[in-house]
Chain A
Amino acid sequence: SAVISQKPSRDICQRGTSLTIQCQVDSQVTMMFWYRQQPGQSLTLIATANQGSEATYESGFVIDKFPISRPNLTFSTLTVSNMSPEDSSIYLCSVRTGLVVGELFFGEGSRLTVL
């Protein structure tokens, strides 16, 4: 298993600003992912955070809007840039600890409200 800490847990932001969310894992993990959960909806994968290289983005998500860093095997950041009210969501960091298919472990999420 893995214990995942996300910061901030919640924030209220102004339109046009950017916010960086941090994800810290208590052990080295092979794969880290960032998901978005819009109000009342399911989870949508934003990107896979790759250690030492550029993140792999899903259709509809771009690096300029959601830059991601992963400097090592236990830490990643997601920045939500130039925010608008449509970016109000819960952003979830998740990890997979093995190299084969296995369950994802999730942080408690970062709830962003954009005014």
Chain B
Amino acid sequence: AQSVTQPDIHITVSEGASLELRCNYSYGATPYLFWYVQSPGQGLQLLLKYFSGDTLVQGIKGFEAEFKRSQSSFNLRKPSVHWSDAAEYFCAVGALSDMRFGAGTRLTVKP
């Protein structure tokens, strides 16, 4: 069965610093991978997705993620964090009928 692990429950970075959020997955076939962001009181917004092809994918808001099959990872990165990036981030692995989410990483941005 597919599953997703986000090892970091909470991360704090300074504004302007770089960011990397970790995601590891378990999936029996070619994974379909996603990153979502949830701002307080909001639903989830898709940041980026990987289905196939180039393993480095670009998303909205300056985010990117790299798929590494050998490490079963799909880490999210941003070179310079803005205060508005403070939110909860969810990694997910998809299948035809449903999607499984990681536990989430809460990002705090220090001034």
- Chain A interface (Cβ within 8 Å of chain B)? 4, 31, 33, 41-43, 45, 48, 56, 58, 92, 94, 100-109
Known: A101-B51, A101-B94, A101-B95. A92 touches B101 (CB 8 A): no
Is residue B87 contacting chain A, with contact meaning CB distance below 8 A? Answer: no
Contact of B98 among A45, A92, A103, A109 (CB under 8 A): A45
23 A-B interface contacts by CB (under 8 A): A4-B43, A33-B98, A42-B101, A42-B103, A43-B90, A45-B98, A56-B97, A58-B98, A92-B43, A92-B44, A94-B44, A100-B96, A101-B94, A101-B95, A102-B94, A103-B46, A103-B49, A104-B94, A106-B44, A107-B43, A108-B42, A108-B43, A109-B43
- Establish whether residues B97 and A48, one from each chain, have CB atoms under 8 Å apart when the complex forms: yes
Is residue B34 contacting chain A, with contact meaning CB distance below 8 A? Answer: yes
Residues of A within 8 A of B34 (CB): 103-104
- Chain B interface (Cβ within 8 Å of chain A)? 32, 34, 36, 41-46, 49, 51, 90, 94-104
Per the bound structure, the CA–CA distance linking A114 and B32 in Å amounts to 36
Per the bound structure, the CA–CA distance linking A69 and B70 in Å amounts to 42
CB distance from A34 to the nearest CB of B (A): 11
Which B residue's beta carbon lies closest to that of A56? B97
Determine which residue in A4, A43, A105 has the highest number of CB atoms from chain B within 10 A of its CB, and name it: A43
Q: Beyond A92-B43, A101-B96, A103-B46, list 7 extra A-B contacts (CB 8 Å).
A: A43-B44, A101-B32, A101-B95, A104-B34, A106-B36, A108-B42, A109-B43
The 5 closest A-B pairs by CB, nearest first: A106-B43, A108-B43, A106-B44, A43-B101, A42-B103
- Establish whether residues A48 and B43, one from each chain, have CB atoms under 8 Å apart when the complex forms: no
Per the bound structure, the CA–CA distance linking A4 and B96 in Å amounts to 20
Which A residue's beta carbon lies closest to that of B31? A101
Per the bound structure, the CA–CA distance linking A104 and B43 in Å amounts to 11
CB distance from B11 to the nearest CB of A (A): 16
Residues of B within 8 A of A58 (CB): 98
Residues of A within 8 A of B32 (CB): 101
Per the bound structure, the CA–CA distance linking A107 and B34 in Å amounts to 17
Per the bound structure, the CA–CA distance linking A64 and B101 in Å amounts to 25
